[in-house]
Structure 1
Amino acid sequence: MTITGKALVAGVMGWPVGHSRSPRLHNYWLERYGIDGAYVPLPVRPEHLQAALRALPKMGFRGCNLTVPHKEAAMEIVDRLDTAARHIGAINTVVVEADGSLTGRNTDAPGFIANLQQSAPRLRLDGATAMVIGAGGAARGVIAGLIEAGVVEIKLSNRTQEKTAALARSFDPYVLPVRWECRADRLDDIDLLVNTTSLGMEGQPPLDLPLDGLPPKAVVTDVVYAPLETELLAKARARGNVTVDGLGMLLHQAVPGFQAWFGKTPEVTEELRRHVLGL
């Protein structure tokens, strides 16, 4: 598809940003729907974040995604925050409004839930119990999404007990802190297990979590998508649990931003998954 001088432009801002699959994802949709537009990588050092964000409307950008390490720092730079971003404490999407102002959004929660609904349709979240591993920004998004979907109790465990307790207080009374050394003992009555840490990612050690007490009905998911099947997911699948990889969350969380920038609500399909994976 030919890009003209009237092309709509957005991108992904991070440091580094070369690993991001978002350009491959959004440019697939632009081609798929015949939109005159482009989505580009924006490598921005942390000390240049404010200048880069404020330059977006001046350069004609419709907005951008934010990745590590900018998601929290950007909250102090944008002009307004949506409810989800304010609650979660991080931004992953910036929209340039018609007047040039910047709105910060967080689409991690709906992206996570949409991935579960598509990949594990038999899982009923209303009234369910979950365990979340990790207490960082990804955990906040996942927890917010689970609560909105009707999960009644979320057990939370992280290697740093202080972070676990602080995050549990933020989502009281839904979140119950679990000491790291007790994490495997608290799996016996859950419907969903979620790893939100980087453990299991390429170059990182695997998540050390015995699954002996996990109910056969429980769904296991991981926000990591490189590799597509982490050791946690492989162990869960081998014992018969339904597993959901993290790529779907990446795909679904991108939908609202694409719609805001390019005016089309895109579909998440199997063909899209294969394209993003380079298959």
Structure 2
Amino acid sequence: MSEFRITGRAKLAGVIGHPVTHSLSPVLHNYWLARHGIDGAYVPLSVAPDAFVTAVKGLQVSGFRGANVTIPHKEAAFAIADEVDPMARIAGSVNTLVFREDGVIHGSSTDGFGYVANLESDGIDVAALASRGPALLLGAGGAARSIATSLLEKGFQVVFSNRTAGRAERLAMELDAAWRRYFPKGDAPRLSAIAWDMWEERLGDVALLVNTTSLGMQGGPAPDWTPKLGTASSHLVVSDIVYVPQETPFLKAAGEQGLTTSGGLGMLLHQARPGFRAWFGAETEVDEATVAYISAVLSNR
């Protein structure tokens, strides 16, 4: 790894959140900066919701190249962007801002990209998987919205299930309407919702099962959460966006049943790549060294 250095010409970016102390993004981006020998820095920026617009404008005039945006600012980032990528427009949220030299703020949502890229890096043929059956997403929050948008783009039928049934139904209707507005002449998306107490019975028809909730997270309300997977078909792929622990009880149970699994850490790492390229002008890869470095950081937290 190259020796770290920063000068007055440094390329600057950061992550805006409230709170932001939990974010691994500064560790990851600064690791990549040092590894590529880039004169730059990526900093955590704790910004209260009522100061978000002021903070973004201040970063822009201060020479920052852009910023990641995390909870609770993703909808505000969508609103402040002058240009928004198609998938971010459908998802209705932005997690990556790029400040262009002409003054335009460009917004994109890279969570869905990171999710799909992680599946592919785990050796999963996403296109083939989409032909085998629908994706069942557990949860109806921002992560589910972004992941579903990218899965729709890949040709999946998407089914939502949430403990509050109305949220899953509303998300299905909202994404359907957004897709039709943006692609009025394209194929209509295939979106639906099922009750939380029924999704385990549907696994025989499902090709991809995704936990987008905090269930199974270390320190969360249900760290031992392990659903029943007995009705799953042998080709089911089980994934979890929780990455602490890296193997959740959910993934462990799926693996013991012989199912293909994909963990959440890779999504976190892959979603950072487009922003790094835009701000710092270099391609990165999520290789064994990167995963080992971030895993060591996580184990020491």
Normalised TM-score (structure 1): 0.95
**Which amino acid in structure 2 is aligned with residue 198 of structure 1?**
S
C-alpha contact (below 8 Å) 1:185/1:213 kept by paired residues: yes
Look up the match of 2:97.
94
Uncovered stretches (5+) of structure 1, i.e. residues with no partner: none
Q: 1:266 aligns with which of 284, 294, 298?
A: 284
> SS of the counterpart of 1:258?
helix
Aligned length: 278
Look up the match of 2:218.
202
Look up the match of 1:24.
27
Q: 2:194 aligns with which of 162, 172, 178?
A: 178
> SS of the counterpart of 2:205?
coil
Uncovered stretches (5+) of structure 2, i.e. residues with no partner: 177-188
- How many angstroms apart in 2 are the aligned matches of 1:92 and 1:238? 35
- How many angstroms apart in 1 are the aligned matches of 2:148 and 2:123? 18
C-alpha contact (below 8 Å) 1:114/1:249 kept by paired residues: yes
Structure 1 position 122, deviation (Å): 4.7
Look up the match of 1:192.
208
C-alpha contact (below 8 Å) 1:125/1:149 kept by paired residues: no
Structure with the largest fraction of helix: 2
Q: Structure 1 stretch 163-172 or stretch 201-210: which is displaced more?
A: 201-210
Q: Within 5 A, what are the aligned runs for 1:129-140?
A: 129-140=134-145
- How many angstroms apart in 1 are the aligned matches of 2:173 and 2:24? 34
The alignment status of 1:245 with 2:263, answered yes or no, reads: yes
Structure 1 position 215, deviation (Å): 1.5
Q: Within 5 A, what are the aligned runs for 1:46-85?
A: 46-85=49-88
> SS of the counterpart of 1:64?
strand
Structure 1 position 75, deviation (Å): 1.7
- How many angstroms apart in 2 are the aligned matches of 1:91 and 1:82? 9
The alignment status of 1:5 with 2:8, answered yes or no, reads: yes
Q: 1:211 aligns with which of 222, 225, 229?
A: 229
- Deviation per CA, 1:56-114: give whole Å up to 9, x if none: 11111100001111111222222222212111011110000102331111111111111
> SS of the counterpart of 2:60?
coil
Look up the match of 2:179.
none
- Deviation per CA, 1:142-186: give whole Å up to 9, x if none: 1111111122x2221001111111111134441121011111111
Q: Structure 1 stretch 121-130 or stretch 71-80: which is displaced more?
A: 121-130
Q: Structure 1 stretch 169-178 or stretch 241-250: which is displaced more?
A: 169-178
- How many angstroms apart in 1 are the aligned matches of 2:296 and 2:67? 23
C-alpha contact (below 8 Å) 1:63/1:96 kept by paired residues: yes
> SS of the counterpart of 1:277?
helix
Look up the match of 2:246.
228
Look up the match of 2:273.
255
Normalised TM-score (structure 2): 0.88
- How many angstroms apart in 2 are the aligned matches of 1:74 and 1:132? 25
